[in-house]
Structure 1
Amino acid sequence: MRRGHLLTTPPYEVETALKRLGADLRTARLRRNITLVEIAERIGASREVIGEAERGKPSTSVAIYAALLWSYGMVERLGGLADPTTDAEGLRLASLRERRHARAPQALDDDF
């Protein structure tokens, strides 16, 4: 998939996840009684960019999402997104590649 295509027509699951994240960030901002202008100034972005993030616009930088999470005291959640210890599919695939039997040790050859 070309980059431009991902930004204009992302897969449905990606679009839905971004919109949910944006809505959740908007809820966090409103619960803290922070305006768009205040949060934009706090993280060094424009009000428009914050609005785009809250709408889940695919071209919004992940740094904006991370900065918003940080400013709301929620950035620790970001670190667990791709935690390999909770990746059920990755763990399953890794277990399929693990050895089932040990190899017998080979005698060392000291003939130089």
Structure 2
Amino acid sequence: MKPKRSKMTIPDPLLGLLSRMGSDLSAARRAQAITQDDMAGRLNVARRTLIRMERGDPTVSLGAYATAAWVLGLEERFLSGFHPGTEEGREARLALPKRVRQPAADLDF
């Protein structure tokens, strides 16, 4: 069963990654011998929502996925993609502008 798509378009490669993340979530839960009912209770979501998460449903909130990673002790791994990595990466991130604005339209009368 394919997850329903929301109004926004999800790129196909991202759907594949979400599917793999859901599969990894399911495997980590089972490796720790946590039932779906218990995991759903820890996440404060319905069991049906957990099933959707384990299928990689893109309509489930990022917060639910992050909380699942935390419950399983995988939060650092889950959020590592957003970490700047090296000290140079951190400095480069700090040097970024606070806001990005549209360039002013060239009004040529």
Shared fold by TM > 0.5?
Answer: yes
**1:8-49 alpha-carbon deviations (Å, 9 max, x no partner):** xx2111100000000000000111111110001112111011
Map of 1:25 onto structure 2: 25
Task: Tell me which structure has the larger Cα radius of gyration.
Answer: 1
CA distance in 2, matches of 1:36, 1:79: 23
**DSSP-derived class of the 1:51 partner:** helix
Which residue does 2:96 correspond to in 1? none
How much identity, in percent, do the aligned residues show?
Answer: 33
Amino acid at match of 1:36: Q
Return the alpha-carbon distance in structure 1 between the equivalents of residues 77 and 7 of structure 2: 28
Mark the runs of 5 or more structure 1 residues left unpaired by the alignment: 95-112
Matches within 5 A, 1:1-112: 4-6=7-9, 10-85=10-85
Greater RCO structure (CA 8 Å; 6+ sep): 2
Between structures 1 and 2, the one with greater helix share: 1
Alignment partner, residue 102 of structure 1: none
Deviation of 1:79 (Å): 2.9
Q: CA RMSD in A?
A: 1.8
